[in-house]
């Protein structure tokens, strides 16, 4: 197989990997914020339910969660899903998993804010929503960018786990090429892709952190 053909096949897989990455962030970032609110809720039932969810997501392997989401509809509900469900199941598992991790990062950032800022906002006539959106959340974002960057970089590498459901992302394509060609060129190219992807993610997150630099501690 010519190098150009290998690159073309891996390029197709790379697009799928990027899609998994982006869709996961779009789903997990807002869901994680909602979960963090549930984790800090004054409602005991909701708080314990959310704690159980977070514990399960963080305490079990993502690969196991992928299998449960994919095979669950058939073995639990008796519903036969189509081949297209492989990609959807991958996104569901990734979003649920990463929302749990993001929620704890959000929670730590929110709870680290001085109580005096809430009290000062109340004196100035801000509502609770205005206080959070205009005063608290921008500072929280600045504080949580480093741990968020770590999780985002991990997400880039975790996209390779989609191969367990037969999703043709970068690693799946590279593995198939290596098996048929008997050399490691495809793995080398895949490694360069993941490294480059993470370098771009780290650069973007660094720029975001600098954008929030005016929120001094």
pLDDT of residue 163: 92
CATH 3.40.50.2000 corresponds to the domain 3-103+144-211: no
Is 186 in contact with 178 (CB distance < 8 Å)? Answer: yes
What pTM was estimated for this model as a whole? 0.90
pLDDT of residue 122: 79
Q: How far apart are CA 129 and CA 100, in angstroms?
A: 23
pLDDT of residue 214: 58
pLDDT tens-place string over residues 16-63: 999 999 999 999 999 999 999 999 998 999 999 999 999 999 999 999
pLDDT of residue 39: 94
pLDDT tens-place string over residues 77-116: 888 887 789 999 999 999 999 999 999 999 998 888 877 7
Is 99 in contact with 141 (CB distance < 8 Å)? Answer: no
5 — pLDDT class (breaks 50, 70, 90): confident
Res. 215: pLDDT tops 80? no
pLDDT tens-place string over residues 131-149: 887 888 888 888 899 899 9
Res. 216: pLDDT tops 60? no
C-alpha dihedral, 8 to 18 to 187 to 71, nearest 10°:
-110
Burial 173-197 (b: 16+ CB within 10 A, else e): bbbebbeeeeeebbeebbeebbeeb
pLDDT tens-place string over residues 164-200: 998 989 999 999 999 888 888 999 999 999 999 999 9
């Amino acid at each position: 197989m010519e190098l150009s053909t290998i690159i073309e096949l891996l390029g197709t897989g790379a697009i799928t990997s990027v899609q998994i990455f982006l869709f996961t962030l779009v789903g997990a970032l807002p869901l994680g914020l909602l979960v963090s609110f549930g984790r800090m809720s004054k409602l005991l039932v909701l708080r314990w339910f959310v704690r159980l969810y977070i514990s399960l997501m963080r305490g079990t392997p993502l690969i196991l969660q992928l299998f449960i989401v994919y095979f669950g509809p058939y073995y639990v509900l008796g519903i036969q899903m189509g081949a297209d469900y492989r990609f959807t199941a991958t996104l569901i598992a990734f979003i649920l998993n990463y929302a749990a991790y993001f929620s704890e990062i959000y929670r730590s950032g929110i709870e680290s804010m001085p109580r005096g800022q809430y009290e000062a906002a109340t004196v100035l006539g801000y509502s609770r929503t205005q206080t959070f959106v205009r005063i608290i959340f921008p500072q929280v974002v600045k504080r949580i960018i480093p741990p968020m960057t770590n999780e985002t970089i991990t997400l880039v590498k975790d996209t390779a786990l989609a191969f367990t459901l037969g999703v043709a992302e970068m690693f799946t394509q590279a593995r198939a090429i290596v098996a048929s060609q008997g050399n490691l060129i495809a793995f080398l190219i895949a490694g360069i892709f993941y490294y480059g992807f993470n370098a771009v993610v780290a650069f973007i997150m660094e720029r975001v952190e600098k954008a929030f630099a005016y929120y001094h501690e």
